[in-house]
Chain A
Amino acid sequence: MTMLRRFEIYSLDPKAPPAKVTAMEASMRNAQRYIPEVLHSAIGYNKSDVALHFVWEHAYESSASYQRYMVHPFHANIYDRYLLNDSPERIVTDNPYDVGLLGYSCGAPIYYLPPGSARRLVLLRLAEGQADFFRAITVKAQSANPQMILSAFAENTFGTRWLDGVTQMLETTTYTHIWEQGYESLAAAAAAGSDWRAAAGAAVEKGIELWYQLDAGYEG
């Protein structure tokens, strides 16, 4: 079975009513309460200097379960209310990073972190053919940092396949790869640094980093 790992990342409208932001947070953090197919749902507020504020991370057991999420009434009624550009109650904004929906396929929940842990998320546009080279960099970075308790590197397949998670709809996406790192604390995630950039050189055409503490809607 191929799982789907998925991120939605947004900049929040500074004029958004706090009550609506709180309601969106709750709907995403506790997504499984409304849509059983949504696994390991957690939210977080980015602490890096990248002007993207809000992350919703989660997963699906399969493409079939993701497709059930897509047609679930809660999705259209509630998530679209806060997110779709033409919704009168939209509380997110377009962002200059061209970030929205990202994710990848995996055979098991390699991304899993206990609630309260911290995530450092690296979104990358790699030069063609550089994935194996960069994967080696991620392995080396983890071995050099004992505080990095998790490292998962994968192609961002969701950016071009968001309708069902498998069928390619778009030619390209801005960020070709995702590197998610896990830490026991937000301080450790923030301190991890980006020494890998020097080693990566021209292999990385574009890259941004976010880090946040997991506010999870699941039990550890």
Chain B
Amino acid sequence: MDFKPIYIVDTLAVKPAEQIAMLKLLKEEGIPIMQDAGLELVGCYSTSPDLDEDVLIQVTWKVADHSAFNLIRKEFVTDPRWWGYSARASQLRTGGTRRFFYPTPMRMTV
């Protein structure tokens, strides 16, 4: 498998009542911090808060390869803002995942 580019998909589970708070935190802190570190934001989507289940917020990032991510990791872990953001996000989350996705041989056709 070719490990580049990488799509990093963060899936954050929150209670429906915390959906807006998590989106606000992402918009004001999480996303700017990661962009400043060098990650490219691909998209941010949310499930409905009206399903009587945890809301899933999915944030997708793009980075060239693992060498680039290694340097970006250094940038965000040495950014004092990241520590505060991470602590606040952990209070809002009920769970979630971070997974690294790589290109597949599939091609989209229309």
Q: 0/1 per residue, A123-151, Cβ < 8 Å to B?
A: 00000000000000000000000000000
Total interface residues in chain B, CB < 8 Å: 29
Interface of A is mostly: loop
Give Cα distance in the complex from A80 to B99, angstroms: 10
A89 touches B66 (CB 8 A): no
A85 contacts across to B, CB distance below 8 A: 77, 82-83, 86-87, 90
Of A57-65, A66-74, A176-184, A195-203, which stretch is located at the interface? Answer: A66-74
Give Cα distance in the complex from A136 to B21, angstroms: 57
A88 touches B69 (CB 8 A): no
B93 touches A88 (CB 8 A): yes
Interface hits, B70-110 → A, CB 8 Å? 70, 73-74, 76-78, 82-83, 85-87, 89-90, 93, 95-100
B7 to chain A, nearest CB (A): 12
Extra contacts besides A70-B70, A71-B66 (8): CB < 8 Å = A76-B66, A76-B100, A80-B73, A85-B86, A85-B90, A88-B95, A89-B98, A90-B90
> What are 6 A-B residue pairs whose CB atoms fall within 8 Å in the complex?
A70-B70, A86-B30, A88-B95, A89-B96, A89-B98, A163-B70
Interface residues of B (CB under 8 A from A): 3, 10-13, 30, 66-67, 69-70, 73-74, 76-78, 82-83, 85-87, 89-90, 93, 95-100
Interface residues of A (CB under 8 A from B): 70-73, 75-77, 80-81, 84-90, 163, 169
